[in-house]
Structures are given as C-alpha cells and as structure tokens.
C-alpha cells in the first residue's frame, strides 16, 4: 500500500516515528532493512524513516552535535528530517539552509511532551497557539520546495483537544501531510491512544493523515486504518528492540498471514549486528553505552531478561557484549 506525500511516493504506508535518543542512523537502517540481513530487501522495511528531532536553534548556532543528527545514508531514503522550534523566521531560514541535504521530507515537531522542550514554547506547546502554528507552517512551506509535514498530538490537555483545528490550519498554511498521536501532552504515553481523534482529523482535511499510537501488531495496524481511515501508520515505541514488526505488518497486509516472531538466535544475531553498526557510527565509548538500552528492549520478555539487563550495564566492549549474548 503506497503513500504519496507531496511529490514523494513511499513504497508502503509504514512510517518509523521520530524518537529522540532512539532513531539514530544505525537503528533507522535496521528498520529499513527489516532484519533481513540484506540492504536489497528494502521493500520489507518502513516506507518512510524519520530522524531524531533536531533543534533549529542548534543548527543556527552550529552546534556540533546537530551534524551527526542530520547525517543520512542514501540506503535509508526516503527520509523525513524533523525540526523543532518556535520562531517562524528562524525555522524558515534554517529550512532553506538545510534543504540541499539529502532528506526528502521536512517535518515540524508539534507533539514532543518533554518539559525542557515544552517550557521553551516548542513541541506540543505549539498546539496552544494556533496562530503561531499557521505562521510557522506558512513561512517554512514557502521557504522550501520539499514537502513539509507536521506531527501533533490529540491536544495539549483534555480541556484543549484541538488536533482537528491544528490540522486544518496546517493544511491551509501549506502542509503536505499531518501525523496525529492519539494522546494529549498531559498523558505523555499513559493510557490508551484515542484513535477517534485521528478519524476526526482524517474527515476534516484532504491531505494525508498518518495515525500514531498503540500499534504493536499487524492486527492493530489493520484496525487503526479500518477505524480511522488514516493513510499512513506511524510506529514508535513498539519497534524498540523489535524492528521486525514492520515486515510482519507488511506481510499481513499482503497475505493476511501472521509471521512467527523471531527466535532467540535471530534476536542474538540482531543484537550483535546492531552493536557493530553502533560502534562504527559512534565509537566504542558512546556506542556501547547506547547499546545497553537496545539490549534491554531486544530481550524484554525473554527468560532471565532481568539479569541480562543488569549485566549489560557493566558491558564496555563488543567482546564483552558478545560473551554476554552467547550465554543467553
């Protein structure tokens, strides 16, 4: 099931959500590959890959960390690069400045619930200011030729549920698509996602609507589309340690069959492969420390996973990780 956003056509309608501290280059490549071990198996991975969110101000002030965040491998395209900020003129200027880079879609984060972002009037705080949303989307969309999308939530709080209003404003201002997470900022990730708000957004706008929230199985992916009519399916936390979910959903979409979950040996191979990529990309010190959370996710629900999580926090080299994985 393909999906078109502006002038960019995705091979399928599955989208890896932007996740700070998670969707770095190695993880994105694994989601694109889908655990098949060959980069040629592109059709088995996510149709669109999203980067971690990147501060427009940090780019403006030439923060050295942003260069790494903006690095994109040709093998993972099409890629959506996500910016966050609240100054319309600055964001438009940064969008214009980075447009020559090899991303395909520019996304604006209007859904991040983290206090340090919200307290700066950025992320989900923008949903409290519809006029500012219009100004940002209008100025950024006019500054670039690549498609511009936004990612929002149900609203800031239950007494401020305005996803439909924000989506209509974004469409009017030039957005090519809108992703909707079915929770308020106050909820963070607690409780169930409200898919009904996604349906209401879909009924209110003519641009593609991407549904997000609680999709952790092929059946849930099917149900989201059936219940909301959304065009795309965005998946975040459910693929942490489980990039196979994309290929499982695609197979189910095509055949109606459920693929078996990966066995222990396949998971172990993926952990080591991910670690090699992480070390190559970020070096031993940072790479091994960042792998610890991934190992915890990969081993969730496995026998003795608690002891594995405890021991991996002491691992400082690939050889030590290999030894630990070999004992699993």
Identify how many contiguous H helices and E strands the chain contains and give both numbers. Answer: 13, 11
Residue 89 has pLDDT above 70, yes or no: yes
Domain 264-326: top CATH class: mainly alpha
Distance of CA 236 to the CA centre of its chain: 6
Residue 36 has pLDDT above 60, yes or no: no
The structural architecture, per CATH, of the domain 3-255 is: Alpha-Beta Barrel (3.20)
pLDDT reported for residue 40: 32
Report the C-alpha gap between 106 and 143 in whole angstroms: 11
Query: Percent of the chain beyond pLDDT 70?
Result: 97
Segment 164-203, tens digit of pLDDT: 999 999 999 999 999 999 999 999 999 999 999 999 999 9
Q: Whole-model pTM?
A: 0.93
Which residues participate in catalysis according to the annotation? 112
Q: Which burial class, exposed, middle or buried, applies to 70 when counting CB atoms under 10 A from its CB (0-12, 13-18, 19+)?
A: middle
Segment 255-304, tens digit of pLDDT: 999 999 999 999 999 999 999 999 999 999 999 999 999 999 999 988 88
Residue 34 has pLDDT above 90, yes or no: no
Q: Which burial class, exposed, middle or buried, applies to 163 when counting CB atoms under 10 A from its CB (0-12, 13-18, 19+)?
A: buried
Segment 7-32, tens digit of pLDDT: 999 999 999 999 999 999 999 999 98
Q: Which burial class, exposed, middle or buried, applies to 247 when counting CB atoms under 10 A from its CB (0-12, 13-18, 19+)?
A: buried
Residue 100 has pLDDT above 50, yes or no: yes
The domain segmentation of the chain, as residue ranges, is 3-255, 264-326
């Amino acid at each position: 099931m393909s999906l078109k956003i502006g002038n960019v056509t995705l091979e399928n309608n599955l989208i890896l959500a932007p996740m700070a501290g998670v969707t770095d280059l190695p993880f994105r490549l694994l989601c694109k590959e889908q655990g098949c071990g060959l980069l040629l198996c592109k059709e088995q991975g996510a149709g669109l890959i999203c980067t971690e969110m990147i501060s427009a101000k940090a780019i403006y002030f030439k923060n050295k960390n942003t260069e790494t965040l903006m690095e994109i491998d040709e093998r993972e395209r099409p890629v959506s690069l996500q910016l966050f900020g609240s100054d319309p003129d600055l964001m438009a200027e940064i969008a214009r400045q980075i447009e020559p880079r090899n991303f395909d879609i520019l996304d604006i984060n209007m859904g991040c619930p983290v206090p340090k972002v919200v307290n700066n009037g950025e992320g989900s705080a923008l949903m409290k200011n519809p006029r500012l949303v219009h100004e940002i989307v209008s100025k950024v969309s006019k500054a670039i030729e690549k498609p511009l999308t936004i990612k929002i939530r149900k609203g800031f709080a239950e007494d401020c549920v305005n996803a439909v209003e924000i989506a209509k404003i974004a469409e009017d201002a030039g957005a090519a698509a809108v992703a909707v997470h079915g929770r308020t900022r106050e909820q963070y990730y607690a409780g169930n996602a409200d898919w009904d708000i996604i349906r209401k957004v879909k009924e209110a706008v003519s641009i593609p609507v991407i549904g997000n929230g609680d999709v952790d199985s092929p059946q849930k992916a099917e149900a989201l589309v059936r219940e909301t009519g959304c065009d795309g399916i965005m998946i975040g936390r459910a693929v942490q340690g489980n990039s196979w979910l994309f290929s499982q959903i695609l197979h189910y979409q095509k055949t109606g069959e459920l693929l078996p979950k990966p066995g222990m040996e396949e998971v172990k191979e993926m952990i080591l492969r991910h670690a090699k990529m992480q070390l190559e990309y970020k070096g031993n010190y940072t790479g091994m420390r960042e792998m610890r959370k991934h190992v915890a996710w990969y081993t969730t629900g496995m026998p003795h996973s608690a002891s594995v999580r405890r021991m991996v926090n002491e691992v400082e080299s690939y050889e030590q990780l290999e030894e630990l994985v070999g004992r699993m």
